[in-house]
Amino acid sequence: MGEKQYLVDDITLKDSWRMFRFLAEFVEGFEVLPEVSPAVTIFGSSRAKPQSTIYKTTLEVARLLVENGFNVISGGGPGIMEAANRGAAEAGGKSVGLHIELPNEQKPNEYANVRLGFKYFFIRKVMFVKYAVAYIIMPGGFGTLDELFEALTLIQTKRIRYFPVILMDSKFWNGLLDWVKGTLVKEDTVSESDFNIFNVVDTPEEAVAIIKRRVIV
């Protein structure tokens, strides 16, 4: 009994001191990221290879965004994140990498010309959503889905301002969307009108056109 109480107190003490690390990461983000506005956050798989179609598409998306007055934010790692940073940097824009420290030591890509490192996912997520005027969601895995559904939830519940959420590559996303319609809408766990808070496109030009229509730079 005494040993258990000691362990609980020890964990609580460590959590209290951890608050200072939380604060430091928030402060660094709040000081640096206002300088990159207006910016679009691009999410997608860290496993995409440079020779893949989706990597090349992401390069084009990022380039077009910069040419139309936007900077680009990514998770700062490999794959789609690298393509987003590379396309923005090569087009002369601010290319932001919000890198996360992971046990498998995911390395930051070399193309981010504004780089911040984070230990905590939840703080990094705040930076993605707070300093983006739009999200572009490329094909990806669990992390990409996490960012997508968090943004849709925040917009749906009006906890954040509306901003464009754009899914790129209808062939990739249609299976998921069919399930949402066929199961979630049917069971009344989401509304059909919730489909109005995001767009599905197949070309970089379509994605940038939506952002330009809905965001005042």
Taking only the tens place, the pLDDT of each residue in 176-185 is: 999 999 999 9
What is the C-alpha to C-alpha distance for residues 83 and 58, in angstroms, rounded to an integer?
6
**Residues 51-74: what's their mean pLDDT?**
97
| Per-residue DSSP letter, 190 | S
Distances (CA, A) of 48 to 1, 52, 79, 141, 155: 51, 7, 4, 11, 28
Of the chain, the percentage scoring pLDDT greater than 70 comes to: 92
The answer on pLDDT for 146 being more than 50 is yes
- Assigned token pair, 181: 């319609």
Which fold is adopted by the domain 2-214? Rossmann fold (3.40.50)
pTM for the predicted model, two decimal places: 0.89
Query: Residues 6 or more apart from 106 whose CB is under 8 A from it?
Result: 46, 77, 78, 99, 100
Cα–Cα distance for residue pair 61/66, rounded to 1 Å: 9
Q: How many CB atoms lie within 10 A of CB 49?
A: 11
What pLDDT digit, counting tens, does each position of 76-109 carry?
Answer: 999 999 999 999 999 999 999 999 887 765 788 9
Rounded to whole angstroms, the Cα distance separating 114 from 127 reads 13
The confidence band for 19, taking pLDDT boundaries of 50, 70 and 90, is: confident
Q: What is the mean pLDDT of residues 51-62?
A: 98
Q: Would you say 140 and 47 are in contact if contact means Cβ atoms under 8 Å apart?
A: no
Asked whether the predicted pLDDT for residue 216 surpasses 90, the reply is: no
| Predicted pLDDT of residue 16 | 77
Q: What's the CA angle centered on 147, arms 100 and 185, to 5 degrees?
A: 160
Asked if the model's pLDDT at residue 66 lies above 80, the reply is: yes
pLDDT band for position 4 (50/70/90)?
very low
Residue 11 pLDDT > 80, yes or no? no
Neighbours of 113 (CB within 10 A): 15
Of the listed ranges 5-19, 88-102, 148-162, the least confidently predicted one is 5-19
